[in-house]
Structures are given as C-alpha cells and as structure tokens.
Amino acid sequence: MKLLDKPRQALGFYRSLKQSISAGDSAHMQAVKAIARHPFSRLDNEVFQRIEDRRAMLEGDSSLIEFIDHGAGSGRPGARTVSQLAGASKNAFWGRLLYRVCVAIESNSSLELGACVGVSGSYIAAGSCSLTTIEGDPSLAAIAQRTFDENGVSARCHVGPFRDVLPSVLPDIGPIDFAFIDGHHDGDATLEYLAAIKPYLSDDAVVAFDDIYWSESMIRAWQSIRADAEAWIDLRTVGPTAS
Ligand SMILES: C[S@@+](CC[C@H](N)C(=O)[O-])C[C@H]1O[C@@H](n2cnc3c(N)ncnc32)[C@H](O)[C@@H]1O
C-alpha cells in the first residue's frame, strides 16, 4: 500500500529534512517535530488509527511468551507478557515520522531489522510499496505478521536471527529505498548488518538506526556510520519525550 496522496507535502518534507542536516541538534528536533506534526490526510489518519488500535490491544494482552532474545537487550531469556514486549515499539510520533520519510522518498522497497509486534513496521509499510522485516523470536514474528495483515499493509515478517535471514531475503528485495535498523543494539553487529545491506541499497536510500547511544559500542558504530554517510541526522531522543 502506498499513500502518496499529498506529493507536494512530501516534497516539502524532503526539503526541510535536507535543510535540517546542517543545523544544530535542537534545530533538528524542531524541524523533525514540525514535520511529524504537520497535518495528515484523512486517509493517513485512518491508517494510523488502525495501527494504534492494534497497539492498544497488544499492550493490554497479558498472555505469556517464552521470549528468545537474539539482541543486546536485557539478556534475560524467559517468559514475558505480550504487553511487556509490545512496550518496546516506537511511539506514534516516531511511527508517523517513519511513515513520512517513506512517503517522501517514495520508498518502493523498505527493510526493517527488529519487527517486535509489528508497530513501526506497519507505519513503514503504510508509507512504502512493500516492507520486509525480520524478527528473531518466532512468537513475536507471528504477532507482527498478524498486525500487518490486520492493518492492511503490505509487509512480510521473516523469522530468525538477522545474520541468518538477511542473506536469503536481500537478493529478492533490492534495491532497498528505506531501511530501519532497530534490533540487535550491538555496535559490531550493527556495522555487520549495514555492510550486508549496503550492496542492495538504492542510490538515494535512507537508513535509520535506533538506539545509537545505547552503549559504547553503539556510539562507536554510529561515529563510523556517520563518517561514511553522504548525509546524516542525529535525532538524539527516540522515545516518549518526543511525543
Ligand atoms: C526494539 S524491538 C523492535 C521494535 C519495533 N521496531 C517497533 O518499533 O515496533 C527489537 C526487536 O528485535 C529483535 N531482535 C534483536 N536482535 C535480533 C537479532 N540479532 N536477530 C533477530 N531479531 C532480533 C528482538 O526480538 C525485538 O523484538
């Protein structure tokens, strides 16, 4: 599904994003907030409402999952409620921003590492022609796929560790216009995934990373990514304070 019903708005977003690249941190955030809060169409809002209704349902779900963590999260294997796990999803503000970026760059093919229950993936997929996402925990992957299906977005969730799944999916989905790396949160692993994805990126691709200040290794990875990138923006705060 692609909801590009306001092309001029999308163009305006892209221009402001480019302008914000050379500005200071607070200017970035002001620009980003203005962009994410700019009025959306009725169609956009209907999609967002469906995604948020599904999120609310999952946040109220107390069923237990034997969570398999392939990332650098809490490191504690074991039972978690769906509600607890759904709490790791990006909030509506960041979801809308992800959506806006995908619409603005007219993403045909988007990729996400770290589906969780499918919330950010739904926003990305709504703004793209299609999304491929990967989730290491099989129960979460099944929930994410159901989220996509119920939200009516074109997205497929593959199950398994990023390292194992990427080689088989990448040749089928390139060129990738937008990638969101929101999983492992380990610096070396992040660089490894980026290196794997890079040959499949389109010329003007946008790659977004979450939790770049999670640890020393993530900070180092972010520094190296920035040094290599054509342009970058550090949005600093990802979380409820930006809502
Ligand atoms: C922060 S959550 C993703 C949140 C989601 N992007 C959202 O905002 O709706 C990170 C997810 O990545 C998964 N994950 C972490 N490391 C992984 C790895 N190496 N391989 C596969 N999945 C991984 C975790 O199981 C978790 O569900």
The whole-model pTM stands at 0.88
Looking at this protein, which amino acid is placed at residue 40?
Answer: F
Confidence band, pLDDT 50/70/90 cuts, at residue 241? very low
- What is the predicted pLDDT for the residue at 217? 93
145: in domain: yes
Sheet containing strand 176-181, strands side by side: 155-159, 130-135, 109-113, 176-181, 201-209
The pLDDT-based confidence of 240 (bands split at 50, 70, 90) is very low
For the chain, how many structural domains are there in total? 1
| 70 Cβ below 6 A of ligand 1 | yes
Mean pLDDT value of segment 178-188: 93
Asked whether residue 17 is assigned to any structural domain, the reply reads: yes
Mean pLDDT over 92-105 rounds to 91
- Tell me if 18 is assigned to some domain: yes
Residues 53-73 have pLDDT tens digits of 999 999 999 999 998 888 766
Helices (H), 87-184: 92-104, 119-126, 138-151, 162-173
In the structure, what pLDDT confidence band is assigned to residue 109 with cuts at 50, 70 and 90?
A: very high
**71 part of a folded domain:** yes
Q: Is 161 in the pocket of ligand 1 (CB under 6 A)?
A: yes
SS3 38: coil
**Token output for 111:** 């990729």
Lowest mean pLDDT among 8-17, 103-112, 131-140, 156-165: 8-17
192 has pLDDT over 50: yes
| pLDDT for the residue 172 | 96
DSSP class of residue 21 equals: T
The pLDDT, as a whole number, for residue 168 is 97
Contact in structure between 178 and 202 (CB atoms under 8 Å): no
Q: Is the CB of 88 under 6 A from ligand 1?
A: yes
In a domain, 56, yes or no: yes
What was the pLDDT predicted at 5?
37
Please compute the mean of the pLDDT values over residues 155-171 and round it to a whole number.
97
Residue range(s) defining the domain that contains residue 158: 7-242
Question: Looking at ligand 1, which residue's alpha carbon is closest to its atom 22?
Answer: 136
For a mutational test of ligand 1's pocket, the pick from 80, 99, 135, 169, i.e. the residue with the most ligand atoms closer than 8 A to its C-beta, is 135
| Residue 152: inside a domain | yes
Within-domain flag for 1: no
Amino acid at 9: Q
DSSP per-residue letters across 61-100:
---EEEE---SSS----EEEEHHHHHTTS--HHHHHHHHH
204 or 22: whose pLDDT is higher? 204
With a 6 Å cutoff on the Cβ, whether 211 touches ligand 1 is no
pLDDT given for residue 235 in this prediction: 72
Q: Is residue 80 lining ligand 1, measured as CB closer than 6 Å?
A: no
CATH number for the domain spanning 207: value is 3.40.50.150
Ligand 1: nearest atom to the Cα of 69: 25
Q: Is residue 2 part of a domain?
A: no
